[in-house]
Amino acid sequence: MVRVVGLIGIIGLLVALGFPASDRQPQPGNHNGVAFAQGNSGENPMREMMRRMMQGLVPPTGMTPERLPDAGSEGARLLVRYCEQCHDLPSPQYKSAPQWPSVLDRMLGRMQMMGGGMTGGGMMGGGMMGMGRIEAPTTSEARTLLGYLQTHAIIEARSNELAAGDPADRRVFSVTCAQCHVLPSPSLHAQQEWPAVVVRMEGNMRLMGKPGIAANERDAIVRFLQSASVKTH
């Protein structure tokens, strides 16, 4: 009974991060002795459980190692190795640089608890419900991972950027985008890039169980981002 209660508690704690999405068809892998799949939902019981039970609180499906910023770096490798053990691959842009230390610290604690922090080699002995052993990064790896996440974190909109643009468009932008992450700086993308970015983010919202947006709301968000990008440069 104690272990069952502990399992329920761990499931409740496994809220993570993440965002953008695209169609994904990666291959199963074994990264440095940590066996987990990088493919469809049937290949990783832990990831599938997280998708079902924590929809909207874990990263949406779609991000691939190749799409990560500076994909060949050690930080990107560590993100793939450790984060994909439990949920889909998150983007560093899910959080701002000041937010990442507390998020990573929370995730490290959960990995340690599920991996080797309990009698018997981890939750339920040798792996949570037989889903495989969860490994946590070393102190050095955690520092590298944090540096990577902060370097490529989302840039939060400045006050002068938020003051730009049409007020009605700004309200739609603020209400919609704040559902998933901090309000992004319009300077993150060139004007011509914003329409596709907004469409991609709309897809992420659906994958995370968020309410969809109407075409006129999408247009308002794009107008605001494009207008604010011009006025603050």
Residue 102 has pLDDT above 60, yes or no: yes
Residue 124 has pLDDT above 60, yes or no: no
188 shares a domain with 114: no
Residue 35 has pLDDT above 70, yes or no: no
Q: In the structure, what pLDDT confidence band is assigned to residue 115 with cuts at 50, 70 and 90?
A: confident
What Cα–Cα distance (Å) separates residue 226 from each residue in 96, 168, 210? 21, 14, 24
- Collect contacts of 113-119 with beta carbons under 8 A, ≥24 apart: 113/10, 114/10, 114/86
212 shares a domain with 138: no
The least confident of 22-31, 128-137, 171-180, 210-219 is 22-31
Mean pLDDT: which of 128-137, 177-186, 202-211 is highest?
177-186
DSSP code for 193: G
Check residue 207 and give its pLDDT: 77
- Neighbour-count burial of 158, counting CB atoms closer than 10 A to its CB (0-12 exposed, 13-18 middle, 19+ buried): middle
Check residue 206 and give its pLDDT: 84
Check residue 1 and give its pLDDT: 45
183 shares a domain with 127: no
Mean pLDDT: which of 48-52, 90-94, 208-212 is highest?
90-94
Nearest-angstrom CA–CA distance, 82 and 134: 8
Total structural domains within the chain: 2
186 shares a domain with 132: no
Q: Domain range holding 168?
A: 159-231
- For the residues 71-77, what does the mean pLDDT come to? 98
- For the residues 156-181, what does the mean pLDDT come to? 94
